[in-house]
Structure 1
Amino acid sequence: MSAKKTLKIIGGILVFLTLPSLLLFGFLYFKYDEDLPQGISGEQADVVAQKMLEALDYKAFEDTAVIEWTFKGRRHYKWNKEKHTCAVEWEDYKVVLDLRHHEKSKAFVHGFTLESELAKKYIAKALKYYNNDSFWLAAPYKVFDPGTERQKIDLPHDQTGLLVTYTSGGTTPGDSYLWLLDENYNPTAFKMWVSILPIDGLEASWNDWTTTETGAILPTFHKFLIFGIQNSYIKTSF
């Protein structure tokens, strides 16, 4: 087979593999991409945020000392809010994160303690997992976290939205989330303007909730495009 024909075949394979992806991206981009909205900051936005927290019984969440859950069936967490620690387990690894002093975190594989650079690698990985996965569990309760900015957004059909921008902290500072609220200020979904997604304004549901043993209200499932994000085996204690 000549080199020219080989290149032609390779080119055809590349087009075959990439064209559907490009068409899908183009469809999603023109269907969903939207600019970051601008609203009213200050007291009006803070009132909306407070009403959302009240709808979710924020006090019950605050009074909860320990939350355990499994994210997408892949990673298990035991988050001790009082002690500011979180045990993260996946595959053969376990990392006990110190959420205030990351350098005090410990990493293990098959029960053996990891040291030096290898420990740092898996501690950093666990922290990244925790930042992402705990957000899908507790994001509504983070609207007044340090480094957050809030705006009240007027939406169609007399609905109210709350835009929260994280200017610092987490893994990807600068991300923004627009909470869509029902008439009782319960969050039903949010739209995302985040650095890891190439399309702005994509929406994920927040309407599958469970009331846990301590009264904390936590989400069990999110629908995101054709994907599902599940929080399972949720347990809480004082």
Structure 2
Amino acid sequence: MPIRQFQAQRMHAPRDFQAIANTPVCIEIGAGKGKHALLFSGQHPEQTLYAIERTREKFLAMQKQHGLEPHANLQPVHADALPWIVHALYPAQVEQCFILYPNPEPHNPAQRWLNMPFFEFLLSRLQPNGQITLASNIPEYIAEAEQQLLALWKLPFEKQRIAADSARTHFEIKYLQRGELCQQLIIRKPEGYRTRFDDFQPLQGQSPAQAVEE
């Protein structure tokens, strides 16, 4: 059954929104206190990473750590990911997207990333051959995402077991120390893959009414 279409034009801009240039970027959704963001930006100085975190306390912790380990290619963003992505990102702009240990939404499956209409919009922002890395310590979450990739999104992916000594996030460290199985899906957008948002330009702080008028 086709998923309903995401209503991108209805998204209000995040508070204090600032537009970005239309150059290749990487993004992390739910960056937490920024452990992975700092690791990645340090290891890949040639790539710009926007690390998005909604929770104020975690964002401030990331900002503080970034001040101690300044990386010019890391841009912490305090915002809800959905409106920020709609207002900031251009079609086919994203090289890599990281969603590491998201809330499994046990009581609201429709809010899991690959079950959301928004996922189609996210795919439109991904470059051809761009990648989404989705990690979880919950086997059922990974299994459901695999099923959605095969049946709904029709995207190629590789499932990987995360090494016991991996330490990308605070959650990852905790889960692996407990001996839990941590897995990730490396999802690739093939050349020629189409979405209904391929021509949708960023709203760049416009109100929904302005977006509809245009």
TM-score normalized by the length of structure 1: 0.29
Bigger CA radius of gyration? 1
Task: Select the structure with the greater relative contact order (CA < 8 A; seq sep ≥ 6).
Answer: 2
> In proportion to residue count, which structure has more strand?
1
TM-score normalized by the length of structure 2: 0.31
